[in-house]
Structure 1
Amino acid sequence: MRKALRPRAGLMSPWLLASLLLIAAPAYCKTPAAPARAPAAQPAAAHPPGTAIASAHSLSTQAGLEIVRQGGNAFDAAIAVSSTLSVVEPISSGIGGGGFFLLHDAKTGRDVFLDARETAPAAATPAAYLDAKGELNRDRATNGPWSAGIPGLPAALVHLAQKYGKLPLKTSLAPAIRIAREGFEVYPRLEKGYGSRREVMERYRGTREVFLADGSPPKAGEILKQPDLARTLELLAAKGYDGFYRGDVGAKLLAAVKEEGGQWKPEELSGYKVVEREPLRLKYRGWDIVTAPPPSSGGVAMAEILQILEGWDISKLDPAHRTHIIAEAMRRAYRDRTIYLGDPDFVKMPLARLTSRDYAAGLRATIHPEKATPSDLLSGQPAPLEDDETTHFSIIDAQGNRVSATQTVNLLYGSGMVAPGTGVLLNNEMDDFALRPGTPNAFGVMGFAANAPEPGKRMLSSMTPSFLESKDKVIAVGAPGGSRIITQVMLAVLAYDAGLAPQQVAAQPRIHHQWMPDAISAEAGALDADTVAKLQAMGHKVNAGESTWGNLQTVMWDKAANTLSGGTDPRNPVGQADVLSSRP
């Protein structure tokens, strides 16, 4: 057996650092790479020198900076970025969906987690999703009104404006309203995604009115206008919560769900509330990490993985053994994700134990340094999975306020159903519940009783918006990518710890293991042939050369040099990270 290795000073070895530098694509990011660390004697700056925003679309990044120029703070900018993403990324998110917003208020020093996850309507019992043979009705679980939870994102935007922003909601929503009305250029991912969901989307009258307005599906280069969505956003801007959840828009949402055979009660829509939760906190080496608590599974799983890894000096391992150890840590964390986690308002969870260093040490002791642990030897049931289409943005402003936000409608174009007259594309987050225990959801993974639907319950998620802080760095980071969100953010922590700049962090190649299915997934170029062969000899199944995944967005304030920089994922060519300087 190999010797246990001591904790070390960084994860990235030369082979991985070289691959990071090769894959990084600064052309997608308008901000420079982070400068070299300033001399230790230089005092840290009290405030950032401006505002940095990284998001999955240039229009949303520019919308946020537009609001900052008008006197808004990071929270006002977050409203602009989020709502604009809801217009230009219907494939990934929208006001018919939900999300998580991790906030840092610089004035009070308080961190808060805004839970705007969708909730289950009372009619959505497990039995409602079974066919005549007692099998899961996959079509009902992922398409149309039965697949949709009560949306949470509009309530989050109102909450942000009322409690944390400086500007009226009307001002912060203005860019999104303008873009919805005037239109934006369709990009290839939007066209391709529509093609893959066309049969479902064209079932619904409201969807046809938006996406077939000129008689044909959206094509890259065309301008997509959404006048109904613009009017809905105007009502939200003018009337706040009531502009969406009650009144004309609320009535149209209820009517659309009923028209297509679904069952939402008026009080379920009008009674939706954002929940403020205490974030999860952990330490990893020199970093204080603030991250997502349940109903996100991300923070708990990331805490387990990082604390397991602290027991090795991974920098001294060859690529195969390094990957082996990381995969084994991932395997154990994802097993616990399945067994224990759910909506904290409905499920009791042993969070103190799951996030403790002693528990991590016990898990570490079960890892054989030369052999894979078959997942079926770790008792339990496989985990539910968050979507692969989701979006994320990160913001730091000149006062030191921070936002790390992840929002989604679940699958490509959510449920595929737009409520007529509203422009609102409904989510299909009900598939993130364990609708039938032991039956895979749309992503091939299974659910557990802790995540079974109940009236008003929030489905388990993998979204992991996070903050990292060291003595001289402040970072906001997050990503989409289904259950792979957690490992993307965890790998970003390791990359920042190794001294990489934000754009390098966003570009690094990725690996993933989620317990079930029992396999290491790796992007093309992440693992060479020799490493794959050695992992296979240890007993791992390796899916090397998979398609890329995720869309990580991150910003960093270097307090020593007093500079801001950002990184946007080169896997998504329409993303943008940009800095607005506050210096004269």
Structure 2
Amino acid sequence: MNVKAQCPNASVWASHAMVASGHPLASQAGLQMLHQGGNAVDAAIAMAFATGVLMPDMAGLGGEAFVLYQAPHREITAYLGSGRLPQGYDESKLPKSLTLPLHQGASVSVPGALDLYWRLHQDGGRLPWARVIEPAQRLAEEGFPVDARLAESLQEMTVLQEEAPSCQEVFFPQGQPLVEGELLKQPALANTLKLLQEQGRDGFYRGEVAHDIVKAVTRAGGFLDDDDLRAHETETTKPLSLSFGPYTIYQTPPPSQGVVMLEALAMLGPDFPKDWRQTGANVHQVIESLRWAFYDRREYLGDPLWQHFDPTQLLTEQWIEKRRAGILPRASLIDTTLKEGDTTSLLAVDDEGHVVSFIHSLALSFGSYVFVPERGFFLNNRAGRSFNRIVGHPNQATPGKRPMHTLNTYMVTYGDQFYLAGNTPGGDGQPQWNLMILLDLLQAQALPHEAVSAPRLTIGPATDAHTLSQQSYVVLESRFAPHVIDDLRKRGHNVRVIGPLSGGGSAQVIMRRLGNWVGASDPRGIGQTLGY
């Protein structure tokens, strides 16, 4: 298909700096930091705090985060803000199952996002810490009109009135969810943000906020305690990388599942056709490459501090050739025995050379359903979503271990120069849609708006512990040609066709072209790209 014929909007161009996020008001917060003399780090952190206010179902102080950051003339660094399973985790107190409870207290991992925000700011920020929180604090205190996305999310999650009754006053006044256009004020969250402006990261991981978090988790039947919070630290390390023609692609390493995208790209190779969507055979290659990459992620990868399997082994020539040989003309029957995620991502770049590719999440929508009423935020359910209880499995729930993560984010260099950065929310869809966007950007030389708008497919089940018993499927947006859909069905794929822009995700892309910045936000979401 012609990618350019399907794009509803043009890319945004700017000469000095650019930001992109999943919400227009968050992007404005990032641009505000740049206009106040801040750099891309300040802008990214301001957008992260703002999205926690504007998208409380998707991200926030109770969540986790992953980042790739490049300082001027420095190598790319990965920040892994992934929390551990609490040390007090006691399997004997849970119902017998191969998985953990998906919601409530036992599903909560240590919230890692705030420490990552702090660490990134300490390493690369220019403006005062209190300043980068200020836009979010104001949005929480003064309120903002509920957008269509959040209104739909609240309408779908009326179960929260029973599961998290302490959030009713904020999100379900008079027993009904807020609707589009109504003003949402979050006074408890505003007070928490003000406290963090004054006390920094210790204001979250120690003292009254930590006490209230532990109290909420304990009340919900979980295991988190003060020692878990005090002990948390963000890991900084080298990213994974893959040479792809003249480009080098960087991804967040485990416990992120960024390697899934890299392994699938390696199987396809830099000579993969730029018009791959036009034939069933090429689409089949994409599907099967992803299936093998997800299989390897499930089979071999866990927290690298516990599971000593080198993820770069999955990118070696010998491994890739073995996996290519496993791609047959018909749909595979790769074993998955044993949901789209709710996340938001953002980007920031500046003309000094700071680049931040950032993603954070509560895991599933409204996370664990555990609301901290005194502090105004939900806690993640990453442990419940990701861990299993299979003895000896790389991702077996073990006290002190970090779960394997859906969150991943990427950068690309051309030679030794920054070329582009991108990411998307969407659970196990993330590495899949990132791969397709990169094929368009690198193979077809598409502009960002063309790549984020192009037709998507999604395979499943992939990695989420609670979905692995499902039958394998492929979801295609209806803009794939009928002959491609028919070909895939003849190959044995269980194909479902959905709306033309219903494939999930809310991708952001910013790239360097002709000495300027050019970026775009996904038309499937409400995000916005801004620059100056």
Q: TM tier, shorter chain?
A: over 0.9
285 and 129 in structure 1: CA distance in 2 versus 1, 3 angstrom threshold: farther
CA distance in 2, matches of 1:175, 1:403: 19
Are 1:511 and 2:476 an aligned pair?
Answer: no
SS at match of 2:504: coil
CA distance in 2, matches of 1:336, 1:329: 11
Mapped contact 2:98–2:390 kept (Cα < 8 A): no
CA distance in 1, matches of 2:70, 2:97: 45
Mapped contact 1:388–1:550 kept (Cα < 8 A): no
Quote how far apart the aligned CAs of 1:327 are.
1.2
Quote how far apart the aligned CAs of 1:23 are.
3.2
Are 1:260 and 2:204 an aligned pair?
Answer: no
Mapped contact 2:371–2:377 kept (Cα < 8 A): yes
Q: What pairs with 1:133-144 in structure 2 (closer than 5 Å)?
A: 134-135=96-97, 141-144=101-104
Percent same amino acid among aligned pairs? 29
In structure 2, runs of 5+ residues without a counterpart are 463-469
Mapped contact 1:201–1:417 kept (Cα < 8 A): no
288 and 136 in structure 1: CA distance in 2 versus 1, 3 angstrom threshold: closer
Quote how far apart the aligned CAs of 1:237 are.
1.4
Mapped contact 1:432–1:461 kept (Cα < 8 A): no
SS at match of 2:80: strand
Q: What pairs with 1:36-435 in structure 2 (closer than 5 Å)?
A: 49-107=15-73, 109-130=74-95, 134-135=96-97, 141-213=101-173, 216-298=176-258, 300-310=259-269, 313-315=272-274, 319-368=279-328, 370-376=329-335, 381-382=336-337, 388-435=341-388
Query: 1:460 is matched with which residue?
Result: 404
Quote how far apart the aligned CAs of 1:67 are.
0.8
SS at match of 1:66: helix
Quote how far apart the aligned CAs of 1:213 are.
4.7
CA distance in 2, matches of 1:194, 1:456: 33
SS at match of 1:198: coil
SS at match of 1:513: strand
Residues 500-519 of structure 1: CA deviation (Å, up to 9, x unaligned): 00111111111133575564
180 and 192 in structure 1: CA distance in 2 versus 1, 3 angstrom threshold: same
CA distance in 1, matches of 2:107, 2:153: 19
- Across the aligned residues of Structure 1 and Structure 2, the Cα RMSD in angstroms comes to 2.3
In structure 1, runs of 5+ residues without a counterpart are 1-14, 33-47, 439-447
Query: 1:502 is matched with which residue?
Result: 448
Query: 1:42 is matched with which residue?
Result: none
Mapped contact 2:217–2:370 kept (Cα < 8 A): no
SS at match of 1:504: helix
* Larger displacement relative to structure 2 (176-185 or 540-549): 540-549
Mapped contact 1:104–1:403 kept (Cα < 8 A): yes
Query: 1:485 is matched with which residue?
Result: 430
Quote how far apart the aligned CAs of 1:375 are.
1.9
CA distance in 2, matches of 1:515, 1:429: 17
* Larger displacement relative to structure 2 (517-526 or 113-122): 517-526
Query: 1:6 is matched with which residue?
Result: none
- Output the TM-score relative to the length of structure 2: 0.92
Query: 2:466 is matched with which residue?
Result: none
- Output the TM-score relative to the length of structure 1: 0.84
- Which of 550, 556, 573 is equivalent to 2:505? 550
Quote how far apart the aligned CAs of 1:216 are.
3.5
255 and 367 in structure 1: CA distance in 2 versus 1, 3 angstrom threshold: closer
CA distance in 1, matches of 2:491, 2:175: 56
Mapped contact 2:66–2:409 kept (Cα < 8 A): yes
Residue identity matched to 1:548: G
Residues 125-160 of structure 1: CA deviation (Å, up to 9, x unaligned): 444432xxx23687xx22222221111111111112
Residue identity matched to 1:475: L
* Larger displacement relative to structure 2 (252-261 or 92-101): 252-261
Residue identity matched to 2:48: S
CA distance in 1, matches of 2:213, 2:206: 9
397 and 242 in structure 1: CA distance in 2 versus 1, 3 angstrom threshold: same
Mapped contact 2:111–2:380 kept (Cα < 8 A): yes
Quote how far apart the aligned CAs of 1:205 are.
4.2
CA distance in 2, matches of 1:146, 1:301: 28
Residues 329-371 of structure 1: CA deviation (Å, up to 9, x unaligned): 1111111011011111111113232111221122112323x33
CA distance in 2, matches of 1:311, 1:360: 13
CA distance in 1, matches of 2:212, 2:204: 10
262 and 515 in structure 1: CA distance in 2 versus 1, 3 angstrom threshold: closer
- Which of 562, 566, 576 is equivalent to 2:528? 576
Structure possessing the higher radius of gyration over alpha carbons: 1
Quote how far apart the aligned CAs of 1:416 are.
2.0
Residue identity matched to 2:397: P
